Amino acid sequence: MSTFSAPKGTYDLLPPSSATYLAIREALAGPLRRAGYGYIETPVFEDTKLFSRGVGESTDIVTKEMFSLTKRGSEDLALRPEGTASVLRAALQANLHKLGNLPVKLWYSGSFYRYERPQKGRYRQFSQVGAEAVGAEDPALDAELIILADDGFRSLGLSRYTLLLNSLGDKQCRPVYRAALVEFLAGLDLDEDTRRRAEINPLRILDDKRESVQAQLTDAPMLRDYLCEECKAYDEQVRGLLTAAGVAFTDDPKLVRGLDYYTRTTFEFVHNGLGAQSAIGGGGRYDGLSEMLGGPALPSVGWGLGVDRTFLAMEAEGIVLDLPSATAVYAVALGEEAKNVLFAKTVELRRAGVATDLAFGVKSIKNAMKSADRSGARFALIAGDRDLAAGVVQLKDMTTGEQVPVELDALVSTLKEKQL
């Protein structure tokens, strides 16, 4: 055993669970690729101001959870706590919005970092698949992204989740609501830190998870009652498109999520089998973020879906994916000469596209066949001196136990015919 262990709040992703994680990423990304979203990858660290300016000075992410890097120069850098700000920064830096084809539709997959109190479903390094549509204000785009997320979850067999939906208004109607909320919050019994956050962004108080705070928000004014006619119409169109597509949702007038850049459509997918950390993904529209980052007006919408929490949600529902074995053929050599021949055939099969492994360092046929069983291979190749003298190898079906000789020269074509 090593004297070192994974840092607190992190974990090692190991086989066989890692195969399920890869399948989850593929399932969540699949609908995006089919909808014309292109892959983007950004650095895992950025200028700290990118997040403080975009995510929001009042958010827990910025004030408590960012990992700042030790300086070796004048740069103030932090590990990325979320994906949207980085993706939009990259799109602006590369002038993707000037190529004449808006919206720019991008998806990403990677790790993100927050200094949180570790618990099941809440880690200091976590994995997400995300999507951003940059440069278009269209309720159909909001609906598209929500539907694509729903399609991804359903393709994994998930069913015990709920889509929460809200509208946060825009720069026209939100100031009116903000004033009403500030007046309401002034009469509550809030601690000094909460009042400070309320002064920066009072909507963040609605997202406070403490029961002592939530109990006082029962009669808080709801933003939905203050939406302007344009925002109401926009919201109704999003909901109508979701309903027409068969995507159910639940109104949540207090849903603001943990980031300051959201406007209008805001949503979250929550699962009833995860306890306190119930969110498996979410997002919304962020029409003013580009300008906050020094770019032009580029209305945009996006989401991030948690790979870790999706895995836990699948466990809660008892879902086990039927994943193909990583090995289709397992070669077992009886003797050094046979091992050299089967090693060459293993290389040839791999180059022909057949997933093949070889029994390395195994001293007995019994142990080698146990390894073949554990590999999950459909077939075992077995060869000894007499087989080689006859120019054949033995091909054993690991399901039926049937074993037949196959000529060495015909081995690749024979296995390819079996659609391996």
pLDDT band, very low/low/confident/very high, at 58 (cuts 50, 70, 90) = low
Instruction: Indicate if the pLDDT at residue 420 is higher than 80.
Output: no
Q: By three-state DSSP, how is residue 99 classified?
A: coil
Instruction: Indicate if the pLDDT at residue 259 is higher than 70.
Output: no
Establish whether the linkage from the previous residue to 16 is cis, with ω within 30° of 0. yes
- Residue-averaged pLDDT of the chain: 90
Instruction: Indicate if the pLDDT at residue 142 is higher than 70.
Output: yes
For β-strands 279-285 and 300-306, DSSP reports them as: antiparallel
Please state the pTM of the whole predicted model: 0.89
Instruction: For residues 194-203, give the mean pLDDT.
Output: 80
Cβ atoms of 354 and 405 within 8 Å: the answer is: no
pLDDT digits (tens, 9 = 90+) for 384-412: 989 999 999 999 999 999 999 999 999 99
CA-CA distance, 118 to 258, in Å (whole number)? Answer: 18
Give whole-number Cα distances, 341 to 177, 368, 370, 375, 389, in Å.
76, 17, 21, 21, 12
pLDDT band, very low/low/confident/very high, at 65 (cuts 50, 70, 90) = confident
pLDDT digits (tens, 9 = 90+) for 281-300: 999 999 989 998 999 999 99
Query: Residue 28: which residues within 8 A CB-CB, separation 6 or more?
Result: 129, 149, 152, 153, 305, 307, 310
Q: How far is CA 90 from the centre of its chain?
A: 19
Cβ atoms of 89 and 293 within 8 Å: the answer is: yes
CA-CA distance, 239 to 224, in Å (whole number)? Answer: 14
pLDDT digits (tens, 9 = 90+) for 354-377: 999 999 987 788 888 998 899 899
> Is 63 exposed, middle or buried, given 0-12, 13-18 or 19+ CB atoms closer than 10 A?
middle
Bridge partner list, 130? 108, 304
Tell me, what DSSP letter sits at residue 26? H
CA-CA distance, 57 to 172, in Å (whole number)? Answer: 22
Structural domains in the chain, sorted by start:
17-173+227-316 (3.30.930.10), 329-417 (3.40.50.800)
Position 56 scores a pLDDT of 61
